[in-house]
Amino acid sequence: MENHEDNKFLGEEKISKLLTKFSIPCILSLLISSLYNIVDQIFIGNSKLGYLGNAATGVVYPITIIAFAFAWCFGDGASAYLSLCQGRGDTKNAHKSIGNSILVTFFISILFLILGFIFKDQLLYLFGASNKSINLARDYYVIILSAIPIYMLANSMNAVIRADGSPGFSMATTAVGALVNIILDPIFIFCFDLGIKGAAYATIIGQFISLIISIIYYTRTKTFKLCKDSFKINFKVFKNVIKLGISTFITQISIVIISLVCNIMLAKYGAQSKYGIDIPIAVIGITMKVFSIVINIIVGIILGAQPILGYNYGAKNISRVKETFKKVVIISFIIGFISTILFELYPSIIIGIFGSNESLYMQFAKLTFRLFLMLVTFTCLIKMCSIFFQAVGEPLKSAIVSLTRDLIFFVPLVIILPKYMGIKGVLIAAPIADLLGIIVCIVLVSNFFKNLKIEDDQNNENIYLKDSKQGFIITIARTHGSQGKAIGKLVSEKLNIPYYYKEMTALAAKESGLDKEFVSDINRNKDILHDLYLTTSPVKYAIEAQDKVIKMIADKGSCVIVGRAADYALKDNKNLVKIFIYAPMDYRIKNIMEMYGDTKIKAKRNIEKSDKNRASYYEIISGQTWGNYENYDLCIDSSIGKEKTAEIICDYIKKIKK
């Protein structure tokens, strides 16, 4: 994680300057990635293969996305886990997550390769191959599938390079591979007359070059070193990798579902129309890849805005959050609007880049660009808002915005509408889904900003670090309802040393410029995607600030610190004493009922939810299991009473002093 002192400029620097600084590298990186998807189509379309060649690659593309879904899941999960390990200074598990990710990616790629060959024709026909395009699809598919391990490893490893603090190298790795692909495509397709096989060879050689460069980087990494132990399967570590990468997997699989359903319906209703099966499959493939360029520009812009939004949201600097959001919306709208104008008025020019002047092909291509991409501006805004919600720590809203447009609206519409409208129904499903999706998006965004509260001067309280005598730093972790806070207060009074609980969050807020209530609530969020919430930008800033303050408190001398994974933050402090307080459920339920007036059922539910969130928070922060007695110096059942528990803790401290 970045040093939080350096993050303050995100709340002070001119927003347009910050957007330029962060967004341009993101856009360039994503556009380079797009080249892999589009270059083959251009050269194939302009060869003697024509639209049949593009239909064949369009059939294979969604199958490769399934492989990428796994690769990016493991790669993004490992990179997110690496970032967490960097933040907590954990060198023990960082390399294991990456080694496990590489190993599992390789095993999955071999399994994918085997199953892909066994069910070769079934998959190709399922994704829209016709009797005319099947031979070309087989030729392309066999070569691409043979190199699936290269594909998957290159993409999985590249994500980790970014997290290791080398985004420029990551971009260069992809750029070199794309450049090799661009150079080799015309040589293999035209000079060597290899046709569609030449395009496949060019692609896998480009990916192979990217993989080699990535492997070279892994021999000189910045924050981790791979060794034999890195490749021993560690289920506990890899579980976290999966957990952190699952959102990427879901996103990619949703693309597969959309492509599958779309291709099936185009093949079915295309066969009943004058266009046949192959023209619609070829055109939709080109359309989606052209559209991906527009989307990648939007994604690059909002990804660049993420740190600006995350920091200012955590600081409750609502005016800067709104200003950043407004600027990104305006830019996204302009890009979407210009794209729409081009797609509606000049589709022939765009289509012409991909070759084939056959009249039916051109007719359907123009129709597709004008109908399917009619509301592309809304699509851009939906994608932008989805990533916006990630940036401000709302992963559930992000998932809703993204998936409702694609899976809830588009998929049913693309199945239902063609029954009444023929093949045009497939095309018109997209703008209708965009329209419905933008309505959901507007409702969620409006509700989000409506509920934002601006707290005046809440970080300017007279909170300060208290001087103390030298001695033990006592950290107290506790189950909900075990009276850990009250016991910690008693211990501090009996030992005459400072007590920190709420004071920690106020100090962290003052130190970092973040909002006190935001810092206070980071381990109590009720979102069902709690683990993903803890890895979002604003929460990382808060955890970073909190970690520094805990260490500053410990530097002042002996004290009692309750909660906040303080035991892990101070793990290297030789004067640390780690206490865990627990109690039977009935005892805790009784305490919660008395404190908050809850019913028995509500009290139990709140205890279970709170304990689950504390456990998740602790695991994200430390990589260790919350409540595991091996992680503490003293575990004590507080049902013996607050006073008695405090006395036992004090006696323990006095005993180890001797």
What pLDDT band is residue 120 in, cutting at 50, 70 and 90? very high
- Give me the phi and psi of 284, to 5 degrees please: -65, -35
Structure-token pair, residue 388: 């916006």
pLDDT at 157 over 90: yes
Is there a contact between 395 and 536 (Cβ–Cβ < 8 Å)?
Answer: yes
Lowest mean pLDDT among 112-121, 223-232, 506-515: 506-515
> What is the reported pLDDT for 457?
44
Give the CA count within 13 Å in the CB-facing half-sphere of 74: 26
> What is the reported pLDDT for 1?
38
The predicted-structure confidence for 567-607, as pLDDT tens digits, reads as follows 888 888 888 999 999 999 999 999 999 888 889 999 999 89
Kindly give the pairing relationship between strand 576-582 and strand 473-478.
parallel
d(CA 365, CA 347): 8
What pLDDT band is residue 456 in, cutting at 50, 70 and 90? very low
d(CA 67, CA 321): 37
What's the average model confidence in pLDDT over 97-101?
93
Q: How far is CA 234 from CA 84, 98, 441, 531, in A?
A: 17, 11, 40, 19
Q: Which amino acid is at 293?
A: I
The predicted-structure confidence for 458-498, as pLDDT tens digits, reads as follows 444 556 677 788 889 999 999 999 999 999 999 999 999 99
What pLDDT band is residue 434 in, cutting at 50, 70 and 90? very high
Q: Where in 444-558 does DSSP place strands (E)?
A: 473-478, 499-500
- Angle (deg, nearest 10), helices 376-391 and 318-345: 160
H-helix or E-strand spanning residue 509: helix 502-512
H-helix or E-strand spanning residue 636: strand 634-637
Structure-token pair, residue 571: 């793990």
> What is the reported pLDDT for 326?
94
| SS3 annotation, 330-372 | HHHHHHHHHHHHHHHHCHHHHHHCCCCCCHHHHHHHHHHHHHH
- Give me the phi and psi of 478, to 5 degrees please: -155, 150
> What is the reported pLDDT for 628?
87
CB atoms within 10 A of CB 628: 12
pLDDT at 435 over 70: yes
What's the average model confidence in pLDDT over 289-296?
90
Kindly give the pairing relationship between strand 559-562 and strand 473-478.
parallel
Structure-token pair, residue 129: 């191959």
Lowest mean pLDDT among 112-121, 163-172, 217-226, 520-529: 520-529
What's the average model confidence in pLDDT over 538-564?
85
Q: How far is CA 654 from CA 134, 380, 647, in A?
A: 80, 64, 10
SS3 458: coil
- Which residues on neighbouring strands pair with residue 637, listed in sequence order? 582
What pLDDT band is residue 530 in, cutting at 50, 70 and 90? low
The predicted-structure confidence for 346-374, as pLDDT tens digits, reads as follows 999 999 998 877 899 999 999 999 999 99
> What is the reported pLDDT for 455?
47
> What is the reported pLDDT for 531?
65
Q: Which of 57, 62, 63 is nearest to 115 (CA)?
A: 63
Q: What is the mean pLDDT of the chain?
A: 87
The predicted-structure confidence for 280-292, as pLDDT tens digits, reads as follows 999 998 998 899 8
| SS3 annotation, 70-136 | HHHHHHHHHHHHHHHHHHHCCHHHHHHHHHHHHHHHHHHHHHHHHHHHHCHHHHHHHCCCCCCCHHH
> What is the reported pLDDT for 459?
44
pLDDT at 77 over 90: no
Is there a contact between 54 and 286 (Cβ–Cβ < 8 Å)?
Answer: yes
> What is the reported pLDDT for 27?
87
What's the average model confidence in pLDDT over 508-515?
71
Contacts of 183 (CB under 8 A, 6+ apart): none
The predicted-structure confidence for 303-313, as pLDDT tens digits, reads as follows 888 888 877 88
Is there a contact between 60 and 137 (Cβ–Cβ < 8 Å)?
Answer: yes
What pLDDT band is residue 273 in, cutting at 50, 70 and 90? very high
pLDDT at 453 over 70: no
pLDDT at 18 over 90: no
What's the average model confidence in pLDDT over 435-453?
90
Is there a contact between 347 and 261 (Cβ–Cβ < 8 Å)?
Answer: no
Q: In this structure, what is the dihedral angle of CA atoms 446, 451, 452, 456, given to the nearest 10 degrees?
A: 140
Domains, in order of start, for the chain: 1-46+273-454 (no CATH), 50-271 (no CATH), 473-657 (3.40.50.300)
CB atoms within 10 A of CB 496: 9
What's the average model confidence in pLDDT over 621-625?
78
The predicted-structure confidence for 371-421, as pLDDT tens digits, reads as follows 999 999 999 999 999 888 888 878 788 888 888 998 999 999 999 999 999
> What is the reported pLDDT for 368?
96
Phi/psi region, residue 463 (left: phi>0; alpha: psi -120 to 50; beta: rest), is beta
The predicted-structure confidence for 167-226, as pLDDT tens digits, reads as follows 888 888 988 998 999 999 999 999 999 999 999 999 999 999 999 999 999 999 988 899
> What is the reported pLDDT for 39?
85
SS3 290: helix
